[in-house]
């Protein structure tokens, strides 16, 4: 049996594909574990934008409890602090067009927490084994960049002050 180089390469690619699939299957970690271990605040929404779950970092960062958040519309929690026009429009676009968004920059007052600078990303979560059809939930990932923005503003202010005094 004499295989051409092209046939051997094809077999290697198929075998490699199945090997990768097997490794992924064996090392699969439930999404809930990944969400809880994340260094970013995470919320899982249903198609009605009701909060199904959030990770501990979200609760601690925004000083919320599960009872105050879960099974509520995202725009109604925290005294409607999350009712942000750009976020609403971006989530509606996901629902209508199946799109996603990355790094939506939001500056917002969060009551007693004060002003927060956030980078928010979101996309559909697809159920296992449905071939990217009929998404059930939206994964919302939130980075609190307040400290970074404040540090950047301080550096700019210092640089401007130094330049103006020379």
Encode pLDDT of 35-46 as tens digits.
777 889 999 999
d(CA 166, CA 161) in angstroms, rounded, equals 9
Please answer whether residues 135 and 155 qualify as being in contact, where contact means their C-beta atoms are separated by less than 8 angstroms: no
Does a structural domain hold residue 33? no
What is the domain count for the chain? 1
d(CA 13, CA 162) in angstroms, rounded, equals 59
pLDDT, averaged across the chain: 81
Please give the share of the chain, as a percent, with pLDDT higher than 70: 73
Does a structural domain hold residue 100? yes
Does a structural domain hold residue 17? no
Query: The dihedral of CA 155, 156, 159, 160: what is its sign?
Result: negative
Domain range for 82 is: 38-164
Within the chain, what is the greatest distance between any pair of CA atoms?
Answer: 82
Segment 10-54, tens digit of pLDDT? 344 555 555 555 555 554 456 667 777 788 999 999 999 999 999
CATH number for the domain harbouring residue 142: 3.30.450.20
**CA nearest 49: which of 131, 137, 165?**
137
Which of 32-46, 59-73, 77-91, 139-153 shows the lowest mean pLDDT across its residues? 32-46
- Range list of H helices, the chain: 5-26, 31-37, 56-61, 66-69, 77-80, 85-97, 146-164
Does a structural domain hold residue 147? yes
Q: Model confidence at 6, in pLDDT bands (50, 70, 90)?
A: very low
């Amino acid at each position: 049996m004499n295989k051409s180089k092209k046939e051997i390469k094809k077999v290697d690619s198929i075998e490699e594909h199945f090997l990768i699939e097997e490794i992924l299957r064996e090392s699969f970690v439930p999404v809930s574990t990944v969400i809880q271990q994340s260094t970013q605040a995470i919320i899982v929404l249903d198609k009605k934008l009701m909060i199904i779950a959030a990770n501990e970092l979200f609760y601690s960062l925004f000083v919320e409890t599960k009872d105050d958040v879960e099974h509520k519309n995202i725009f109604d929690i925290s005294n409607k602090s999350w009712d942000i026009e750009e976020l609403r429009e971006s989530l509606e676009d996901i629902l209508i067009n199946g799109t996603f968004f990355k790094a939506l920059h939001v500056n917002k007052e969060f009551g007693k927490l004060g002003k927060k600078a956030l980078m928010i990303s979101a996309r559909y979560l697809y159920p296992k084994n449905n071939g990217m059809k009929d998404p059930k939930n939206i994964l919302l990932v939130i980075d609190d960049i307040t400290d970074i923005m404040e540090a950047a503003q301080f550096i700019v202010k210092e640089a401007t002050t130094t330049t103006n005094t020379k």
